[in-house]
Structure 1
């Protein structure tokens, strides 16, 4: 069996890294993964000595920034197609890409008992504004449009859509009351196995394409031990427990 050069490099790095050799890693993080990566970052620094410096935004926008020379070393995307595209363009470390989480879409309102657990509120169409993320740059926004299309609601709600630049802004429109409800990442409103506030419908996975979220080491992180260590850490049980506590699948 042919050995994986990335795996050999990773193994060597894991044996060599110590707190005294700690490094920083610049990470582009999909907005939906903000809370989980903040929790993971604290444990990662404590356990490895490395420091994670994160920037948050829409996956499509990060793609443009990376191709224009942004100093990111690791990319945690909200889809699997964007990292694969970067890989095909030679902008990543070959063999480093893997799925770190599978996202869940939720229809959420900051109001208690406003959204029922079957999403009938969406079909009733009695609301004034429905928030979604930009489907051209945010995978969760694309998933939201797929749900509306499958339910035959694309045209009925078209003039009620309030579009956020990314999933964080889509969430903010709802949390501030500028939209009665909106499609958000479940991780934004869910923690420790329960809804943190308001009311929500967890959208059935069959209503949209799977939200497979891939991580990859970018070319700028090729020689950074902290980048290699982060990828290994994300595959471990401690990170997995945090990721699942926010409603993601592994």
Structure 2
């Protein structure tokens, strides 16, 4: 573990320049540039809000804002987009950089860290856009938003841990790369992002306890939509699971890194 940290520090310039180059290259020939990172998720929110808000907005308890449902949807999307980006990019990360891993000597851990840095940058830009939209719709920032800092760290830890495990497995069993996108779609709809929790039938609410993202997304809703602090008990358990999973993922990555180079 200390070797990984030393490698990250020694290659910090490479990590930062890679994040910057990735950002610049992605939108090099685009007139809107980095705004596309904001337009895509907000467009998705607008579509869902336009189609479903008339049906579901009235069922948001405690929200007096006329645009309560779009606010609810954007808050949940903010949490999910960070998690899903890390998972989806980690899934094929080592396969895509197989030639680099075989031909160059560098700390392999820098590749996942670059992805996290890029995903966090995207999420910060999206968060700024969400705040602007919230203010436009009459939902002003509140002091509870500082809770988003530890929550973001929990999302990253959970995404890194699960993403590393899936990314390593995908190197050796390529079927993983085909199954995970399907699971992610099911997971998205299994998480109360598009729909409010109160419409879930009582006999299904117990299943939410098995969804680790449920407490995180609910905390985002509490903070951004209702202006209240999250449930510390459920969040504490989720954070502990997330950081334990991250340690497992890092351990698995460290042990499998030499074998991955051979497999690639």
Shared fold (TM-score greater than 0.5)? no
Structure with greater strand percent: 1
TM-score by length of 1: 0.29
TM-score by length of 2: 0.28
